[in-house]
């Protein structure tokens, strides 16, 4: 086996925080959310959204409940600028929603950004410059003081332009970009300088966004950095600590959750994790993670299919079938043991009645996010008897008894193995009918009359069932009359006597299919023969007595 060259990489430095407290904290309320779908998400698309597509996405984000939305980088292109102006001039921004625009710390870009938000009631100007060791040395070739000066000068200009606009609804956010690649003490130094330049106070808070621009470490180390920063920042009540995590290591959601536990007030992210490289932190996943812990996410994901459809249409990106909460297969079980556990869990929850969700393999109620139960259990060669039974009961009201489920599951398994395909509910229903109900064989009912005779005790005495039947069997017709303690008992006695074939009914079950006056009845039987063979059958009729007889003939034919 070839050994990969692991020696070219160095471990991420730890934080000297022996008395860290965040691991023992829980998230008790949602953070302030800020969607970056229209900026960070959009700039990562192979085909960026048009103005109309961005408006459709903006309306979706508003409907979900976002109160802060980063709408673009208006100084970067004419399309970005036109979109922001359209939002403002057409009155598309609700009064309780704040738009956010991103700008580099350059004078002409900052001024262009203020032109874009002119007339907006509430806006955040998001200023950034990279402070990381690598970018200082390789990209900008500037020392620490020079990089800090860029942040200070940019902040002062934003302060000046805000004051000139006389718009008290303009707020300020600063990001030391590549925070995870910046020395902690230096990041704090730059942020303190920015706070001073802005004049941050309890009454006019500054947003300090500490991005994991490139995910470089385990999420616990990011949380350590956030807790260290929250402890050491001056005038904590003058600051909102924001986090912006990317998914390069696949742990952006954990990174953001740990950061909130470590003291962060605000979280930036995108629907379904869209964004540069491996994407941004997925707000859908984090929000619904909170929901499953009994915390109000303050975002409405109750119609995920609609959200997914608008997202796909606007971004031309797909949502993976296994994507947490939103994927088309995440509420689907193919495994037999999973199917059986889900089916039992749903039934038990209905009987318990305490309102709490507790179903095996389903951490969330699919109906809470606009999904249905129909797709929870799907059948292929990996499926088991419980899943097959669940599909028939859910879709068609056919409640196969436990003692018969393995027999039908074997028939389903044979078809699935032969075709190598998933079997739809329609195919399973058709297979049930062909296997039991429509089965043609040597035995067929030609005629059957049923009557009852009261016992000597009158109305309170035992009732005897009388049956007169004609059955075709082995190429001949059998006519017989018999009596028993019920229609099925009488029929079995008469058939055995006339046909000379010995068997006993070992199991029996019945129920109605549907609830209307014209509902049919279905019966299930298991019969056994003296030599040890067993067979299962099912029968459907508007008369339950005839349904039980048809089920017995079905079992005889399957022998």
Please state, in angstroms and as integers, the Cα–Cα distance from residue 294 to each residue in 30, 289, 298, 330, following that order.
11, 9, 12, 20
264-273, 340-349, 372-381, 448-457, range with the lowest pLDDT: 372-381
Q: pLDDT-based confidence at 514, cuts 50/70/90? A: confident
* DSSP states of 53-106: HHHHHHHHHHHHT-SEEEEE-TTT-HHHHHHHHHHHHTT-S-TT-EEEEEEES-
The CATH class given to the 30-315 domain equals alpha beta
DSSP string covering 128-168? EEE--HHIIIIII---HHHHHHHHHHHHHHHHHHHHHHT-T
443-455+462-558 folds as Double Stranded RNA Binding Domain (3.30.160)
Beta-carbon contacts of 528 under 8 Å, excluding residues fewer than 6 positions away, are 503, 504, 506, 534
In the predicted model, is pLDDT for residue 496 greater than 50? Answer: yes
pLDDT over 50 (residue 410) = yes
Read off the pLDDT of each residue in 451-469 and give the average, rounded to a whole number: 69
Has residue 193 got a pLDDT over 80?
yes
Minimal CA–CA distance to 488: which of 554, 544, 532, 538?
544
* Range in 62-76, 187-201, 242-256, 505-519 with the lowest mean pLDDT: 505-519
Q: What letter does residue 436 receive in the DSSP assignment? A: I
Confidence of residue 517 (pLDDT cuts 50, 70, 90): low
Q: What is the number of alpha carbons within 13 Å of residue 65 lying toward its C-beta?
A: 15
Above 80 in pLDDT, residue 534? Answer: yes
CATH of domain 338-369: 1.10.287.1400
What average pLDDT does this structure show over 25-39?
A: 97
User: Does 470 score more than 80 pLDDT?
Assistant: yes
Give pLDDT, residue 378. 59
Boundaries of every domain in the chain: 30-315, 338-369, 385-437, 443-455+462-558
Q: In this model, does residue 41 exceed pLDDT 70?
A: yes
Higher pLDDT, 328 or 456: 328
Contact criterion met (CB below 8 Å) for 109 and 86: no
515 is in an annotated binding site: no
Q: What percent of the chain has pLDDT over 90?
A: 70
| Residue that wins the pLDDT comparison between 173 and 382 | 173
- The domain defined by 385-437 carries CATH number 1.10.1220.20: yes
CB atoms within 10 A of CB 40: 24
Q: Is 40 annotated as ligand-binding?
A: yes
What mean pLDDT comes out for the span 74-91?
95
- pLDDT of residue 292 exceeding 60, the answer is yes
Is position 42 annotated in a ligand binding site? no
- How much is the pLDDT for 457? 47
Contact 58, 68 (CB under 8 A): no
Is 232 annotated as ligand-binding? no
Q: What is the DSSP string of 101-128?
A: EEEES-HHHHHHHHHHHTT-SSEEEEEE
Residue 387 predicted with pLDDT over 90: no
440 pLDDT band, cuts 50/70/90, is confident
Q: Is 486 helix (H, G, I), strand (E, B) or coil?
A: coil
> What pLDDT sits at residue 375?
55
Instruction: Inform me whether the pLDDT recorded for 455 exceeds 70.
Output: no
Rounded Cα distance between 25 and 260, Å, is 9
Average pLDDT over residues 316-325: 94
Return the C-alpha torsion angle 84, 86, 91, 95, nearest 10: -10
Q: What is the mean pLDDT of residues 179-199?
A: 97
Which tokens is 167 given? Answer: 């718009």
pLDDT band at 48 (very low <50, low <70, confident <90, very high): very high
The mean pLDDT of the chain is: 91
Asked whether the predicted pLDDT for residue 281 surpasses 70, the reply is: yes
Is the pLDDT at 150 greater than 90? The verdict is: yes
Given a cut of 70, whether residue 101 has pLDDT beyond it is yes
pLDDT in tens, 111-137: 999 999 999 999 999 999 999 988 898
- Does residue 377 have a pLDDT over 70? no
Mean per-residue pLDDT for 78-106?
A: 96
Exposed (0-12), middle (13-18) or buried (19+): which is 559, by Cβ within 10 Å? middle
**pLDDT above 70: percentage of residues in the chain:** 95
Task: DSSP for 373-398, please give it.
Answer: GGGTB-BSTT--HHHHHHHHHHHH--
350, 303 contact by CB (below 8 A): no
Q: CA torsion angle for 493, 495, 497, 501 (degrees, to 10)? A: -110
Structure tokens at 425: 């509910």
Indicate if 443-455+462-558 has the same CATH topology as 385-437.
Answer: no
pLDDT tops 90 at residue 329: no
């Amino acid at each position: 086996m070839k050994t990969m060259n692991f020696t070219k990489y160095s471990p991420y430095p730890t934080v000297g925080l022996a008395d860290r407290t965040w691991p023992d904290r829980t998230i008790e309320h949602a953070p302030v959310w800020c969607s970056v779908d229209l900026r960070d998400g959009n700039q990562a698309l192979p085909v960026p959204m048009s103005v109309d597509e961005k408006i459709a996405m903006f309306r979706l984000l508003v409907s979900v409940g976002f109160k802060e939305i980063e709408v673009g980088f208006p100084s970067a292109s004419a399309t970005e600028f036109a979109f922001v102006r359209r939002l403002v001039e057409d009155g598309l921004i609700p009064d309780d929603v704040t738009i956010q625009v991103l700008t580099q710390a350059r004078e002409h870009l900052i001024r262009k950004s203020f032109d874009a938000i002119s007339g907006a009631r509430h806006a955040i100007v998001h200023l950034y410059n990279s402070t990381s060791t690598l970018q200082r040395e390789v990209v900008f070739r500037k020392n620490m003081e020079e990089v800090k000066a860029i942040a200070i000068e940019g902040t002062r200009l934003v302060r000046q332009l805000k004051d000139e606009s006389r718009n008290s609804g303009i707020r300020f956010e600063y990001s030391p970009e590549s925070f995870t690649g910046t020395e902690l003490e230096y990041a704090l130094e730059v942020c303190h300088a920015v706070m001073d330049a802005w004049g941050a106070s309890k009454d006019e808070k500054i947003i300090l966004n500490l991005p994991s621009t490139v995910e470089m470490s385990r999420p616990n180390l990011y949380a350590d950095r956030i807790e260290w920063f929250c402890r050491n920042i001056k005038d904590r009540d003058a600051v909102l600590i924001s986090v912006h995590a990317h998914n390069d290591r696949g742990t952006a959601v954990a990174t953001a959750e740990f950061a909130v536990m470590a003291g962060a007030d605000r979280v930036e992210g995108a629907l379904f994790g869209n964004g540069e490289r491996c994407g941004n932190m997925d707000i859908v996943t984090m929000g619904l993670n909170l929901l499953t812990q009994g915390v109000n996410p303050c975002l409405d994901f109750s119609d995920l299919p609609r959200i997914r459809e608008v997202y796909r249409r606007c971004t031309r990106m797909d949502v993976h079938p296994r994507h947490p909460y939103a994927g088309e297969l995440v509420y689907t079980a193919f495994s037999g043991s999973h199917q059986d556990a889900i089916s039992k869990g749903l039934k038990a929850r209905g009987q318990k009645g305490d309102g709490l969700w507790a179903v095996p393999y389903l951490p969330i109620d699919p109906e809470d996010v606009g999904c249905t139960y129909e797709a929870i259990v799907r059948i292929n060669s990996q499926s088991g008897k419980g899943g097959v039974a669940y599909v028939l009961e859910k879709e068609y009201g056919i409640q196969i008894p436990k003692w018969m489920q393995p027999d039908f599951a074997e028939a389903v398994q044979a078809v699935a193995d032969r075709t190598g395909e998933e079997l739809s509910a329609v195919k399973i229903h058709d297979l049930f009918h062909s296997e039991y109900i429509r089965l043609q064989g040597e035995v067929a009912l030609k005629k059957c009359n049923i009557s009852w005779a009261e016992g000597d005790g009158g109305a309170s005495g035992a009732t005897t069932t009388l049956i007169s039947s004609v059955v075709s069997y082995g190429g001949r017709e059998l006519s017989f009359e018999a009596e028993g303690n019920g229609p099925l008992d009488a029929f079995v006695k008469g058939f055995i006597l006339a046909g000379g074939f010995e068997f006993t009914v070992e199991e029996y079950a019945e129920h109605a299919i549907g609830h209307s006056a014209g509902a049919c009845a279905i019966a299930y039987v298991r019969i056994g023969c003296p030599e040890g063979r067993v067979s299962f059958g099912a029968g459907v009729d508007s008369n339950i007595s005839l349904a039980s007889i048809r089920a017995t003939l079905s079992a005889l034919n399957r022998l």
